[in-house]
């Protein structure tokens, strides 16, 4: 079975994503000109987005990565997050942009914001590919850049996985019920 057959509906196609990423990069060029920002990609979901964003970004910047694991499941989020991989570089006095795949309840982002702010960056902003605003629990996140507002549905593709698969789909789509029912992510 091909990966495409498992997709019930495409929400954002390849051309739409490409254009939106270009727009976000332009906004960042304007906001961060002369500030040498550090883009912090969250492994592994934001990698495809981050790579396209950084290639479209025509100002000097750096790239670093972090990885976290959430305790509990999507439907029983506790907000407890475990740090699996920290940054390689210091971010004190740097302009930091946290690049996320999805901000859902916002609990993961909230943890990361607290962790990064403790290091006294010059500024901190979040850039997320998808914003599931309807499910937000964490208040006051510094969401400066949002690719798309997404509905409360589990999506895959363009870096987003279901059981580590589907990341390589060039679009963002909703999995067919039969596939999803095999078990929770």
Given the residues 52, 104, 131, 152, the one annotated as active site: 104
Judged by CB, which is closer to ligand 5GP: 106, or 147? 106
Looking only at the bridges linking them, the beta strands covering 7-12 and 172-175 are: antiparallel
Looking only at the bridges linking them, the beta strands covering 38-43 and 62-70 are: parallel
Site for ligand 5GP in 55-114 (CB under 6 A): 77, 100-109
Interface residue with ligand 5GP, options 22, 31, 161, 170 (CB under 6 A): 161
Q: Is 13 a catalytic residue?
A: no
Instruction: State the minimum distance, in angstroms, from the CB of residue 44 to ligand 5GP.
Output: 9
Instruction: State the minimum distance, in angstroms, from the CB of residue 114 to ligand 5GP.
Output: 13
Site for ligand 5GP in 113-152 (CB under 6 A): none
CA 117, CA 108: separation in Å to the nearest integer?
14
Residue 92 neighbours by CB under 8 Å, 6+ apart: 119, 120, 121
Ramachandran class of 79: left when φ > 0, alpha when ψ lies in -120 to 50, beta otherwise: left
Which residues here bind ligand 5GP, judged by CB under 6 A? 45, 77, 100-109, 154-156, 160-161
Question: Which residues carry out catalysis?
Answer: 104
């Amino acid at each position: 079975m091909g990966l495409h057959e498992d997709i019930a509906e495409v929400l954002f196609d390849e051309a739409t994503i490409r254009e939106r990423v270009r727009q976000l990069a332009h906004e960042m060029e304007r906001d961060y000109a002369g500030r040498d920002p550090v883009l912090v990609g969250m492994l592994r979901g934001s990698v495809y987005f981050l790579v396209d964003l950084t290639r479209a970004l025509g100002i000097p910047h750096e790239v670093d990565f972090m990885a976290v694991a959430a305790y509990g499941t999507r439907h029983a989020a506790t907000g407890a997050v475990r740090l699996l991989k920290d940054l390689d570089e210091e971010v004190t006095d740097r302009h930091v942009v946290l690049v996320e795949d999805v901000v859902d309840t916002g609990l993961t982002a909230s943890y990361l914001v607290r962790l990064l702010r403790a290091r006294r960056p010059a500024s901190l902003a979040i850039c997320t590919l998808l914003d599931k605003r309807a499910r937000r629990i964490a208040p006051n996140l510094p969401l400066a850049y949002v690719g798309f507002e997404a509905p409360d549905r589990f999506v895959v593709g363009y870096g987003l996985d279901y059981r580590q698969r589907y990341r390589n789909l060039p679009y963002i789509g909703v999995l067919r019920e039969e596939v999803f029912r095999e078990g929770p992510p």
